[in-house]
């Protein structure tokens, strides 16, 4: 149940290690990690790794970690077991300062597959690099964790890329071909949403976001074949091609002549640009995508069967 909830509600990114982690020694590994982190370090930010679900081939873990002390003020009667507290609010409450440490959390799922381990994170791990690196080294013997971690690519994203490039090279209607591919996968994504174990309101929200996905442009970086360091075109392309003479031909030539390693294409979701290249995708520009747009894209680009 927890496993299905991770995928249904909050899966953010799927990664894998090209090795099978040994879950049989997890209890000892957790004990060793907790001891090294909390007892052997000087003034550590205390951490707890909680096992939320576990089978022979799969485990769901949640890490709690302090992020620094806070010293807010409060009224003494709220923290002291005094007669005033039992009698209610005093006429003139006294001030006290308390000390507490706020906690940050991250949840992730490890599943042992054939010759690899799949890792699904529910949050960005940018603020967890030191902790996760130490954890995987201590609990599973994985050194250089981030160097070995690989992001799972999407066959759907690669198919959309191939559709665009192929239609451009053959001088077909490249945007229409990409739109048809997106529409087909949109329908499949909406069907997957209908089968998710989440409230109907959440389903409708995800469906609405997926309905906004459209092909919107291209990015090319540091490509000597077209003598440019950066080219970016992000717009509603069919409308742009109709309104600006010659831009469609220029767009075709850029994509046709660019090195495939240097180029990427751009979708929008809820009017926010998302770059996808070589089966991977990420937001473009300042800021981050809202969590629900992230989740909608995960579902759209997911080419695996439902759990």
Instruction: Report pLDDT for 285.
Output: 60
Task: Look at the chain and count its residues.
Answer: 307
| Position 275 pLDDT exceeds 80 | no
Q: What proportion of the chain, given as a percentage, has pLDDT over 90?
A: 29
CA 23 to chain centre: 24
How do residues 81-127 score in pLDDT, each as one tens digit?
655 445 678 888 888 888 888 899 999 999 998 899 999 887 778 88
Instruction: Report pLDDT for 80.
Output: 65
Q: Select the more confidently predicted residue: 105 or 261.
A: 105
Instruction: Report pLDDT for 76.
Output: 84
Instruction: Report pLDDT for 213.
Output: 86
Euclidean distance between CA atoms 154 and 298, whole angstroms: 9
Pair 77, 84: CB distance under 8 Å? yes
Query: Has domain 2-71+103-151 been given CATH number 2.20.25?
Result: no
Euclidean distance between CA atoms 140 and 22, whole angstroms: 7
How do residues 205-226 score in pLDDT, each as one tens digit?
999 999 998 876 544 333 333 3
Q: In the chain, which ranges are E strands?
A: 13-17, 47-54, 58-70, 73-75, 95-97, 100-113, 116-121, 150-151, 214-223, 228-234, 263-269, 272-277, 280-283
Per-residue confidence band for 182, with pLDDT thresholds at 50, 70 and 90:
confident
- Tell me the CA distances in angstroms from 95 to 72, 78, 79, 80, 100, one per residue in order: 10, 10, 11, 11, 16
292: number of CA atoms within 13 Å, CB side? Answer: 13
| Position 63 pLDDT exceeds 90 | yes
Q: Which distant-in-sequence residues (6+ apart) come within 8 Å of 105 by Cβ?
A: 62, 63, 64, 65, 123
Euclidean distance between CA atoms 149 and 126, whole angstroms: 13
Tell me, what DSSP letter sits at residue 23?
Answer: G
| Position 249 pLDDT exceeds 60 | no
- Phi, psi (deg, nearest 5) at residue 42: -85, 125
How do residues 135-157 score in pLDDT, each as one tens digit?
999 999 999 999 999 877 777 77
Instruction: Report pLDDT for 43.
Output: 79
Q: Select the more confidently predicted residue: 305 or 39.
A: 39
DSSP percent split of the chain into helix, strand, coil, nearest 5 = 45, 30, 30
pTM over 0.95: no
Most trustworthy range by pLDDT among 12-21, 135-144, 290-299 = 135-144
Q: Where are the domains of the chain?
A: 2-71+103-151, 155-301
How do residues 33-60 score in pLDDT, each as one tens digit?
999 999 998 878 999 999 999 988 999 9
Q: What is the mean pLDDT of residues 68-76?
A: 83
* Strand order from edge to edge, sheet including 13-17: 47-54, 58-70, 100-113, 116-121, 13-17, 150-151
Q: What is the mean pLDDT of residues 268-282?
A: 75
- Tell me the CA distances in angstroms from 43 to 39, 68, 69, 300, one per residue in order: 9, 11, 12, 44
119-131: burial string, b at 16+ Cβ within 10 Å, e else = bbbbbebeebeeb
């Amino acid at each position: 149940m927890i496993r299905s909830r991770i995928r249904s509600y909050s899966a953010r990114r799927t990664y894998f290690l090209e090795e099978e982690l040994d879950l049989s020694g997890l209890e000892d590994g957790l004990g060793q990690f907790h001891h090294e982190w909390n007892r052997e370090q000087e003034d550590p930010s205390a951490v707890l790794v909680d096992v939320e679900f576990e089978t022979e081939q799969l485990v769901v873990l949640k890490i709690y970690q302090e992020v620094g002390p806070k010293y807010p003020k409060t009224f003494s009667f709220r923290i002291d077991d005094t007669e005033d507290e039992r009698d209610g609010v005093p006429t003139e409450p006294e001030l006290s300062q308390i000390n507490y440490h706020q906690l940050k959390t991250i949840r992730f799922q490890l599943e042992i597959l054939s010759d690899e381990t799949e890792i699904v994170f529910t949050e960005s791990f940018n603020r967890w690099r030191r902790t996760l690196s130490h954890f995987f080294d201590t609990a599973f013997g994985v050194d250089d964790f981030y160097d070995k971690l690989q992001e799972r690519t999407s066959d759907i994203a690669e198919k959309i890329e191939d559709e665009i490039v192929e239609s451009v090279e053959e001088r077909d209607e490249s945007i229409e071909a990409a739109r048809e591919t997106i529409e087909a996968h949109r329908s499949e994504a909406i069907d997957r949403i209908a089968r998710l174990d989440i409230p109907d309101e959440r389903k409708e929200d995800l469906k609405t976001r997926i309905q906004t996905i459209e092909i919107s442009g291209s990015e090319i970086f540091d490509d000597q074949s077209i003598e440019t360091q950066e080219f970016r075109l992000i717009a509603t392309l069919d409308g742009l091609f109709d309104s600006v003479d010659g831009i469609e031909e220029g767009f075709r030539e850029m994509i046709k002549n660019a090195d495939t390693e240097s180029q990427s294409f751009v979708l929008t979701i809820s009017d926010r640009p998302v770059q996808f290249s070589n089966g991977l995708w990420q937001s473009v520009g300042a800021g981050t995508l809202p969590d629900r747009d992230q989740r909608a894209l995960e579902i759209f680009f997911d080419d695996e069967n439902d759990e």
